[in-house]
Structures are given as structure tokens and as C-alpha cells.
Structure 1
Amino acid sequence: MNIPSSAPEAAPGRLARNRGFQRLWSARVLASMSFQMLAVAMGWHVYALTKSAFALGLVGLSQFLPMFLLTLVVGHVADRYDRRRIAAVCQGVECAAALTFACGTFGGWLSAPVIYALAACVGAARAFESPAVSSLLPAVVPRAQLPTATAWSTSASQTAQIVGPALGGLLYGVGAGPAYIACALSFAVAAVLSSSIALQARPAVRAPVTLASVFSGIAFIRSQPVILGALSLDLFAVLFGGATALLPVFARDILHAGPLALGLLRSASAVGALTGSIWLAHFPLRRRPGLAMFGGVIVFGCATIAFGLSHNIAVSLIALAVLGASDVVSVVVRTSLVQLRTPEHTLGRVSAVNSLFIGTSNQLGEFESGLTAGWWGAQPAVLVGGVATIGVALLWMKLFPALRETRSLEHEETRAAAGAG
């Protein structure tokens, strides 16, 4: 059987009546929206201060370094303590950082180094928040609903990436201070929602901390070629294809537009991603998810090239929307593989490594884009990145045949047992 007997439980209507999922979804929307608003404000602010594409890359690097250094710690924290409380505390720290941005703006002392330092604080908070929130989902919804819930959770992030950048650009047009205050308020509400999520599953027993347990997330991923292939494919594809760090350059110097246009550009990819995630929520990838992931990455690279060649804002918006729609396939496949193939007691540690891969591809990708743009210019950097993304997808199809040939998001034996039941 292709569909488990419990599949009716995965209907979107059942999720809509799950109060724990509602609060988790809402908290993710608000926290992600606030982060996107903050990203627009930080990017425009530092570029206005420095006129340097390399400085934009340093903002991404500042967020990535804490995530990289804390990877092994945050996974253990997510597996040993209340994940709701972790998420709420981290969102409170992000709220405090946004308020500091606002105070620095109104006080006139917000310089580029201060922005880098605050970006590092936000990066550290997100390092703890991301695996905690990601590993909450299996405790909030039944297992049969996980693929659909994952798609809807992805739509939460994409909804935030549509509203957040556009709202951030609009508010920044009024003033940097109001934009930062709006971020702080959104983070504060997200923290309240996260702390009140109801769980359906009991937390796992806390295992003692040992050297083996610290590295168990990495060891598990290495033992699973399908998961390793999916994570590394997404890592290198987005690392090379990450053009979002250069959007302030494109908006201001190539498309000759302002901060509102920057917000629209950042929202465009999320519009495509939201469309894709809603489609996947209604029509989950039940067959050949690995092949679908490879196809999505190749389309992602082609859309990146189209964006790099564009001098027209309408064409740029369409290219970014296609880019977002293709990227969401990779996101849903990767996240579903992690959640469905990882034991619950180590899910936090595996999710932490997953978050590191995401952070590497996003934040370190922003640094790579800023660095190459400083060498060659913004458009050549994006074009080279798009070509490299396609090359990575083709190479990974040869290096990870298990991912290419996988027929289900779950282990074949688990899927067969569910079908038999």
C-alpha cells in the first residue's frame, strides 16, 4: 500500500483543530517574521553605513559563527530540557537584541561593529531555538501527520518570509527605529506562544551526558546515507546559490530601487515557497522524494542564474519566486527525512546538526556571496553560484545513489509495517 491506514489522520482539518500545533505554527510565523524584518533592517542599515558588499557578508558570518561553535551543545540541550522553554527563552533574547538595535538607532551609536555583535547574539539564540522548535513537532502531532505538518510548518516560515521582509522594508522606509521595535514586539508574542504549547507525547528520558552522546547526532547522520546526502546537498546548493545577502546591492545599484523594493525582493522567494509548501501539504511526496529533491535543486540553480542576469524588477521577482518554490521541495524532503527516520531520544542532536547545515548554507552562504561580490561584482557572483548549484546537484546524484533511488520518506521497513497495519 502506498498510503498507510492512518493516513486520514493526516488531513489538514485535523491539524487545524490541534491547539498545540496552532500555537507552534503561530509562534514560528511570528519569530520567523520578526527575524526576516530584522534581516532587512540589518542589511540595509549596514550597507547604508559602509556601502560595502563585503560588510553584508560579515553580517551573515556573524550569525553563522555562534551556530557553528554551539552545534554540539544546543543539540544536547534540546534533548535534555523542555524544548518549549528553550524556544521561549531564545525568542526573549532576540527580543532584547531588537530593542538594543532600536536604542542604538535612536541614540545614534549603532555602528557597523555593533550590528555585527548584535547579529552574533541573534545567531547564538537561533542556534538554540532552531533544533528545539524543529524537534517539538513530533511531540505535538501524531506520527502519521508529520509529513503534512512539516509542509504546513514550512509554510509558516514562508508566510513569515513574505510578510516580514515587505513589512520590514516598509517600516525601515519610515525609520530604522520603528522597524526594530516591531521586531521586538513580534519576538515577545512568539515567546509567550512557545511557552504555552501543549504536547501530546511525553518528553524522552534524559540520558546522561557522555562523549559518545555528544557526538551521537553526527554519528547517526553518517550512518544514514539518505539523510547525509539530503543534508549535504542542501548545504552546498544553497551555499553556492545564496543570492539573498546581495539583495540590498541589487535593489539599490542594479534595479535602482529603495528599501520597500528590497522587502519585496526578499518576499518574492517566500511567495513561491509558500505556494510550493501549500501544494506539498495537500499532495505530499509519497514516491521518489530524493529524485524530486534533485530536480528542485537544479531548478533552484537555473532560477538563480535568471535572477543574476536580470535588470528588470518584475523579472527579478519572478525568478526569485521560482527559486523559492523549488527550494521548498528540498526543505520539506530534508526535514521529513530527519523527523521520520530519527529516534525521538536523539532528535534534538540530529536537528542541531541539521540546523548547522541550514545555517551554514544560509549565513555562511551570505558571507561567500558578499566575498565573491567584493571580488567580481554582484551579478557575476550570483551567476557563478547558480552554475555551481547545478553542478553540485549532478555530482550528488552520483555520490548518493541511495538518496536518488529512495522511494519513501520513511525507512522501507517502517513504511511496509504501517501499510500492513
Structure 2
Amino acid sequence: MTVVPLRRNRNYTLLWTGQAVSEVGFSTTMIAFPLLVLAITGSPAASGLVLGVDAAAQLVAGLPAGALVDRWDRKRIMLWCEAAMALAVGSLALALWWGSASLTHMVAVAAVLGVCRALFEPAEDACLPRLVPDEQLATAISLNAARSSVGQMAGTALGGVLFAVGRVVPFVVDTITHLISLVSLAFLRIPPRQVDRAPIGDIGKEMVEGLRWVWSHRHVRVTALCAVSLNFFFNAFYIVIIVLADSKGVPAGQIGLMAAMLGVGGVLGSLIAPTLHRVLHPWVSIMAVFWMVTVLTPLTLIAHNGYLLGALFAGMSFLAPTANTTINTHQLLLTPDELRGRLSGVMNVFVGSAAAAGPAVGGLLVEFVNGTVAVLWCTAGMAAISLLVTVSPVLRRFPRHAPVSV
């Protein structure tokens, strides 16, 4: 049987294109949000509060969102999420136009965006194996990762420019992008599935069932721990290296370029991830990113400008999409369809918590030791994790092709 290329897969193309547009708009809002709060309130603390509410809402809603995705119609969840985000951001645009925007309103919008993202991401992840053949799932996951990286880079750059044009402009653009995605999703055809009609009071039991599945299945558990540890380390190291670069007198513009190169490495890595996923054993693809980061981390000590640091960051992020593709593909294929929403919800909470804790730990580290010592501590920690990944019997015996759960 001939497999249709993904570019000719109508449903996957609709989902990918709609979300590519939506993610550009969302990233535009996320860079404009703190600028707006700062301009209106003059308070950096209030500016951080808005972004903090968005992140907190995602974490708090993560586990119940995964359970709801498994019991509700997933296409409707995505439609309602896009509609809710369009209404929330649109209401803020109107308030700015009328000159009545308040901090309370902005916090409420951030909370809505966080909850909607907590629901949308598991719904999309759970739908993916039903939209593409198993042999194309890794390619679809890597293309989604590239979409997110490009959307984040484009939206971040666009947000600052549009905010300079007018405070309301980024939020108008974001509203339009969510509406475009909403229309795209309306034409999406997802194969029907049995929807659970259990009482809503059972959701706590279903959340526990999702946690139990992740922890009891050794392949899922070990790959989850790999994803969590990598995200925790890298987010901690990111803060350390910014402080180190600043102490070396690296100009702010070069530090910004360094951060951009992180995204460039991720995009390039996403494009080659399907090929590496096919030719490398899962253990090798996961182990490689850990050792790549371990080797490149101490080299930041001898990089004295943002260009070299950016090149190192691009190298660190280049193999990450391959590891993520391997982990996500195997987890989705190993997990029964009725548990895929909860799998994604649990992973989002675990990885999101690690991403939030990493900068805090990195900040504390550079508070008590100088930048050079902090980098060496990061190197030692990453080397220890890399050794554990290397000797892990579960990863070494990881099946090249995951058995499909039905």
C-alpha cells in the first residue's frame, strides 16, 4: 500500500498550517504582553506576574486537561480553545482601543491563554496518530517541532516591531491568527473514536490513571525522566550563561543573537530529525543529545563573544529535536488511544515544571558562585546524567520500532 506524503495529507496540512499561523500570533502576544504591562503600570513585577499567570495556569490545568481530552471530542476541544483565545485576546485589543485596559483584565487574559494551551496541546498530540500513518508519525512530530520553533522566532521578532507601531496592534494580529486557525480546524476530519461518558466526578481517578500509566510503563517512565532532566538542566544553564556573558561584557545585542541561534539550531535539527530517527537506535538518538550538551557546555568558558556562544547554543539544540522525536513517537505508539491525552498532559506538567524550576536553580547557583564555577557545576551535573542515560538497561534495549497499542 502506497503511503501518501504528508504534504498531500489534507488533514495534517490543515492542522499544521493553522497552528503555524496561530503560534506566530501567540508568540507575538507573549513578547508584547510584558511590554504592555510595563507601559501601563510601570511595574516590572506586574509585568512578570502576567507571564507567570500564563505559565501557572498551564501547570495547574495540565493533569485535568489531559483527562478531559481523553473523555471529550478532541476536535471540539481544539475549536473551543482557539475560539476562547481569540475572544480573550480580542477583548484586550478592544480595551486598549477604548483606553480601559487594566492589570486585572490582562491577568485574566493570561489565565485563559494558559488554560487553553493546556487543553489544546494534549488534544493535538492525541489526534496526531489518528491523522497520519504510524510510519510517518516521527516526521509529523518533527515538523510540528520545527513549526513551533519558527513560529516562536517569527512571533518574537514581530511582536516588538508591532508594539512599536501601536500597543493594540500585536493583539489585533494575534486575534486574527486564532480566527484563521479556527477556520482551518473547522475543516479538519478526524476519524471517530468512542468518547467516554463517565461522570465528571471520576476525573480525579482518571488523572491518577494517567500518572500510573506513565510511571508503570518502564519505557514511558524512563523517556519521561530523560525529557524532564534535559529541560531542567538546559533552562538552568541558560540563565547561568546569560549571567556569564554579561559579566564578560558581551553586548546585549549579541546576547539576543545567542538566544536566536538556539532557535536556529532547533529548526535545523527538526528538519533532519526524521532521518536521524530512522537510522539511529533510540538509545543512540537520546544519548547523543546529552553528550553533545555535556561536551559543549564547558566550551562556553572560552567563548568571549555572543557569536561563538550562539554557535555553541545552536550545536546544543541541534540534536534535541531528534531525541524529542524519538521520545514522543515511541510514547504515543506505546500508549493506548484512550490514554494519549493524559500522557501528553502528564508530560506537559513534568517538563513544564522542570523548565520553570531550571531558571530558579540556575539563578541561585550564580548567586552563590561565580559564572565560571557555575558552568563547571552544570558540566558535572550534565555529565552525571549522560552517564546514567548511557548505562540505562531500559534505553539500551529500547525497541527500534515501538509496538502499537490499540
Q: Tell me, yes or no, whether TM beats 0.5.
A: yes
Query: Which of 244, 247, 251 is the equivalent residue of 1:256?
Result: 251
Query: Which of 152, 156, 159 is the equivalent residue of 1:165?
Result: 156
User: What pairs up with 1:107-256 in 2 under 5 angstroms?
Assistant: 107=99, 118-199=109-190, 201-206=191-196, 208=198, 210=202, 212-242=205-235, 255-256=250-251
Query: What one-letter code is carried by the residue in structure 2 that aligns with 1:76?
Result: A
Tell me what 1:75 maps to.
66
Query: Which of 399, 402, 405 is the equivalent residue of 1:410?
Result: 402
Query: Which of 320, 340, 356 is the equivalent residue of 2:333?
Result: 340
Q: Calculate percent identity across the aligned residue pairs.
A: 22
CA shift, 1:351, in A, is 1.5
State whether residues 34 and 183 of structure 1, in contact with CA within 8 Å, keep that contact through their aligned partners in structure 2.
Answer: yes
CA distance in structure 1 between the aligned counterparts of 2:278 and 2:339, rounded to whole angstroms: 25
CA shift, 1:79, in A, is 1.2
CA shift, 1:85, in A, is 1.9
Tell me what 1:269 maps to.
262
Question: Which ranges of structure 2 fall in alignment gaps of 5 or more residues?
Answer: none
Q: Provide the alpha-carbon RMSD of the alignment.
A: 3.8
Tell me what 1:36 maps to.
27
State whether residues 27 and 190 of structure 1, in contact with CA within 8 Å, keep that contact through their aligned partners in structure 2.
Answer: yes
Q: So what's the TM-score if we normalise by structure 1?
A: 0.79
Deviates more, 1:126-135 or 1:275-284: 275-284
Deviates more, 1:188-197 or 1:90-99: 90-99
CA distance in structure 2 between the aligned counterparts of 1:103 and 1:370, rounded to whole angstroms: 38
State whether residues 80 and 207 of structure 1, in contact with CA within 8 Å, keep that contact through their aligned partners in structure 2.
Answer: yes
State whether residues 300 and 326 of structure 1, in contact with CA within 8 Å, keep that contact through their aligned partners in structure 2.
Answer: no
CA distance in structure 2 between the aligned counterparts of 1:370 and 1:219, rounded to whole angstroms: 33
CA distance in structure 2 between the aligned counterparts of 1:149 and 1:321, rounded to whole angstroms: 22
State whether residues 303 and 323 of structure 1, in contact with CA within 8 Å, keep that contact through their aligned partners in structure 2.
Answer: yes
Partner SS state of residue 197, structure 1: coil
Cα pair distance change 1:382/1:402, threshold 3 Å: same
CA shift, 1:159, in A, is 2.4
Cα pair distance change 1:83/1:292, threshold 3 Å: same
Query: What one-letter code is carried by the residue in structure 2 that aligns with 1:136?
Result: C
CA distance in structure 1 between the aligned counterparts of 2:297 and 2:357, rounded to whole angstroms: 17
Cα pair distance change 1:346/1:182, threshold 3 Å: same
Tell me what 1:351 maps to.
344
CA shift, 1:127, in A, is 0.9
State whether residues 241 and 375 of structure 2, in contact with CA within 8 Å, keep that contact through their aligned partners in structure 1.
Answer: no
Partner SS state of residue 5, structure 2: helix
State whether residues 277 and 325 of structure 2, in contact with CA within 8 Å, keep that contact through their aligned partners in structure 1.
Answer: no
1:97-124 deviations in Å (ceiling 9; x for gaps): 434555676648665x876654333222
Cα pair distance change 1:35/1:364, threshold 3 Å: farther
State whether residues 21 and 151 of structure 2, in contact with CA within 8 Å, keep that contact through their aligned partners in structure 1.
Answer: yes
Cα pair distance change 1:151/1:61, threshold 3 Å: same
Question: Which ranges of structure 1 fall in alignment gaps of 5 or more residues?
Answer: 1-5, 416-421
